[in-house]
């Protein structure tokens, strides 16, 4: 597994991600990671419920870019051997 810095600069609105550091096997796998997919929630009165990704993938708003062509991937090095699968280590979110 490798470490990659993944970034995008096309969606620069409030409440968007601009970059993240991820663990992935390849640059192609890193490019496909969507930081938003791991935290999309919907308010339901006093509680918040996780929404399945299939329910929201076609929505108009996104906190990440909409095309993998807009994603820049930079190899940082090898990940620690304890990482066995794809993971987001840290992400930069621009709250508004």
More confidently predicted of 73 and 35: 73
Number of C-beta neighbours around residue 71 at 10 A: 20
DSSP state of 80: P
Is the pLDDT confidence value at 40 over 50? no
**Share of residues in the chain with pLDDT > 70 (%):** 74
Across the range 25-29, mean pLDDT stands at 93
Q: Where are the domains of the chain?
A: 2-94
State the pTM of this model.
Answer: 0.76
Secondary structure of 41-76 in HEC code, one letter for each residue: EEEECCEEEECCHHHHCCCCCCCCCCCHHHEEEEEE
């Amino acid at each position: 597994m490798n470490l990659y810095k993944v970034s995008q600069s096309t969606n620069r609105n409030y409440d968007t991600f601009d970059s993240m550091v991820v663990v992935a096997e390849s640059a192609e796998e890193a490019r496909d990671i969507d930081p938003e997919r791991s935290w999309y929630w919907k308010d339901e009165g006093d509680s918040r419920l996780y929404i399945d990704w299939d329910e929201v993938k076609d929505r108009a708003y996104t906190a990440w870019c909409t095309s993998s062509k807009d994603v820049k991937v930079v190899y940082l090095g090898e990940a620690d051997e304890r990482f066995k699968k794809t993971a987001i280590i840290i992400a930069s979110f621009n709250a508004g």
